Amino acid sequence: MVRFNFTKKSRHKGEIAPDEIFLDSTNLPEFDTTQFEGRLDKPISRWSLYSVGIFFMLVLGAFAFRLSSLQIMHGSSYASMSVDNTLRSTPIFGARGVIYDRNGVAITWNAPADITSTTTTDESGETLPIRKYTALPGFAHTLGYVQYPSKDSAGFYYQEDFEGLAGVEKYFNEQLQGTNGLKLVQVDAHGNVQSQNIIKPPKEGQSLNLSIDARVETALYNGIAAVADNNSFKGGAGIIMDVHTGEVIADTSYPEYSPEVMSEKTDVAKIRAYLNNPDKPFLDRVINGLYTPGSIVKPYMALAALNEKLIDPNKVINGQAYLSIVNPYDSTKFTLFHDWQAQGPEDMKRAIAMSSDYYFYIVGGGYKDQQGLGINRIDSYMKQFGFGQAISSTTDSYFTGVAGNVPSPAWKAANFKGEGWYLGDTYHSAIGQYSWLVSPVQVVRAVAAIANNGTLIDPTILKGAQGKVFGTVSISKADFDVVRLGMQMGAHTGVARVLNLPFVNIAAKSGTAELGASRTQVNSWITGFWPYENPKYAFAVMLENGSVHETIGAAAAMVHALKEMSTTSPEYFK
């Protein structure tokens, strides 16, 4: 019997959905709710549809704006870039000029690019010509080296020229520099070359004929290197010059570097070793090295004294082991100025030959009744011979270097807080000590003026060039003859007699400059000219910072060079 309860309110309001009719709540536990069984589907709200529509409209708007920017506002520029990406301009490298010695021997040239692993090749197949240098020793500072053209990470050249960075390569860069050509290369999207056309052919640079003789330069370097290596010297330099034209036939500095290593820059360990070498292989000691000269200044002191009529060249002075000067403030005390040995009776020629300090103390500063030059006249005459002044030749700029210093009261006051000049300063200056600083190229120009009777000619490194006349020293030929004879005696019977060689008659002056307060290190010098009878070539050789106890120095290096020259280039002694 069915009962109806008319008092209970219905649980539903409105219509009953069909799903509710067929949903049997007793079956709910059996539904797999993870598979969404037993759940009712509901329609997506209108706001969700509107949101999705707005998002897609914004995306389409952004694409439309970008498309208009590419096609309308910047279309022409992007079209140009597209052409550039397919047509690339590539340099065709002009060969750098060849460098020859005075006899036409190539000492710097361009090697075929395919014989070296360091050659770089671009997408068009264009290769860099490789700069090669002679394997003969002694040429690094003369020739210098180059920097190759450089690429960026994308393979494009931001530097298209070879650039000389030192030596002849630097100072004659404009003449040696080739003119690059231009090639248009068409490539596809993958970078493959489709076609190429030469728009502008390259031009080779100007070749140079140097005044250097490769045989003489090698001989001079070998002599310096041999003596320096075996006798504790840290370095050295040498130069040989024609006394009439200024042409330099040898110009070398030790130690040196490899121009090819510095140009190619692939041997990092070798370059680092150069940079860390305390003996400074990058210093061109001939041009930019400054050194205390020592006794090689004595011939110029003699010329100044003769020209000033201060002393007769035949006057004999009894050379002692030291010169004793009374202290001006205390007559019981004396200052001693030592000679390297007591020379005994000597006139000017013998004083030059035996390098007498005692004689030139007196000539320079005076003693008792013998008047001396004094520091002001010393300064004046030394500058007439080119000391203390940089070489500024108009023939070429290769030898332009440091100025150096000639001692003077003004220099001392400027560098020692106004300190005054003393007689002892003059004595030391007269024998090439104290604050002297000279370069080998200055010395060879000065000694060439002794050989040619007073004409100072700036050196040149170009064959057939005439060096600029720097100045003329107004001293008589008779006075020059006295000094030249003293130098010839020095090479035959004096302190430079190691240069008494059978195949050439040399006039020379040696020098040993003591360094520092301890005076345990020295610079060794030899200067001179040949042949004595009719001078043609002047020379200056310096060995740097050796032990004061060394008995072998620059003169031995020059002998080594002259003997090698007598075999390889004997025409220089005829």
Range name among 104-113, 273-282, 367-376 with the lowest pLDDT average: 104-113
pTM: 0.82
Q: Is the pLDDT of residue 39 over 70?
A: no
* Counted domains in the chain: 2
Q: Is the pLDDT of residue 495 over 90?
A: yes
480 and 335 in one domain?
Answer: yes
Tens-digit pLDDT profile for residues 510-541: 999 988 777 788 999 999 999 999 999 999 99
Q: Is the pLDDT of residue 313 over 80?
A: yes
Give the C-alpha distances (Å, rounded to integers) separating 4 from 1, 7, 8, 9.
Answer: 10, 9, 10, 12
Q: Give DSSP secondary structure letters for 483-515.
A: HHHHHHHHHHTSTTGGG-BTTB--EEEEEEEEE
Within-domain flag for 107: yes
Local confidence band at 24 (pLDDT 50, 70, 90 cut-offs): low
195 and 285 in one domain?
Answer: no
- Report which of 522, 531, 526 is spatially closest to residue 440, judged by C-alpha positions: 526
245 and 196 in one domain?
Answer: no
Within-domain flag for 17: no
State residue 89's pLDDT score.
Answer: 72
Local confidence band at 117 (pLDDT 50, 70, 90 cut-offs): very low
State residue 65's pLDDT score.
Answer: 75
**Which CATH number goes with the domain that contains 205?**
3.90.1310.10
250 and 203 in one domain?
Answer: no
Taking the C-alpha atoms of residue 265 and residue 458, their distance in angstroms, rounded to an integer, is 35
Q: Which domain holds residue 120?
A: 86-209
Average pLDDT over residues 96-114: 91
Indicate the DSSP class of residue 11.
S
| Domain final position from 185, 209, 233 | 209
510 and 418 in one domain?
Answer: yes
341 and 292 in one domain?
Answer: yes
504 and 371 in one domain?
Answer: yes
Q: Is the pLDDT of residue 34 over 70?
A: no
State residue 6's pLDDT score.
Answer: 46
Tens-digit pLDDT profile for residues 430-481: 999 988 999 999 999 999 999 999 999 999 999 999 999 989 999 999 999 9
Within-domain flag for 303: yes
Within-domain flag for 47: no
Q: Is the pLDDT of residue 496 over 90?
A: yes
542 and 478 in one domain?
Answer: yes
Q: Is the pLDDT of residue 26 over 60?
A: no
**Which CATH number goes with the domain that contains 473?**
3.40.710.10
Within-domain flag for 36: no
Q: In the block, which residue shows the tokens 């500024």? A: 392
Within-domain flag for 468: yes
177 and 95 in one domain?
Answer: yes
Identify the residue with better confidence: 520 or 345: 345
Residues 288, 542 contacting (CB under 8 angstroms): no
Identify the residue with better confidence: 62 or 572: 572
164 and 229 in one domain?
Answer: no
Percentage above 70 pLDDT, the chain:
83
Residues 391, 458 contacting (CB under 8 angstroms): yes
Q: Is the pLDDT of residue 32 over 70?
A: no
Within-domain flag for 372: yes
State residue 189's pLDDT score.
Answer: 58
Within-domain flag for 42: no
Tens-digit pLDDT profile for residues 79-93: 655 555 566 777 778
| Domain final position from 209, 237, 255 | 209
State residue 112's pLDDT score.
Answer: 77
Average pLDDT over residues 45-64: 78
- Report which of 498, 503, 566, 492 is spatially closest to residue 526, judged by C-alpha positions: 498
Q: Using only C-alpha atoms, what is the Rg of the chain?
A: 43
Backbone phi, then psi, for 119, in 5-degree steps? -70, 135
Percentage above 90 pLDDT, the chain:
61
Can you give the length of the chain in residues? 574
Taking the C-alpha atoms of residue 338 and residue 358, their distance in angstroms, rounded to an integer, is 7
Torsional sign, CA 465, 470, 475, 481: negative
222 and 204 in one domain?
Answer: no
Average pLDDT over residues 133-143: 96
Average pLDDT over residues 21-41: 58
Residues 144, 136 contacting (CB under 8 angstroms): no
Average pLDDT over residues 144-153: 82
Tens-digit pLDDT profile for residues 276-306: 999 999 999 999 999 999 999 999 999 999 9
State residue 37's pLDDT score.
Answer: 60
- Report which of 437, 560, 521 is spatially closest to residue 235, judged by C-alpha positions: 521
Range name among 336-340, 359-363, 476-480 with the lowest pLDDT average: 336-340
Q: In the block, which residue shows the tokens 């005044």? A: 211
State residue 2's pLDDT score.
Answer: 46
Tens-digit pLDDT profile for residues 376-394: 999 999 999 999 988 876 5
| Domain final position from 209, 230, 246 | 209
Local confidence band at 53 (pLDDT 50, 70, 90 cut-offs): confident
274 and 165 in one domain?
Answer: no
Average pLDDT over residues 211-223: 98
State residue 116's pLDDT score.
Answer: 44
Tens-digit pLDDT profile for residues 161-199: 789 999 999 999 999 998 888 777 776 656 666 667 777
State residue 447's pLDDT score.
Answer: 98
Provide the mean pLDDT of the chain.
Answer: 86
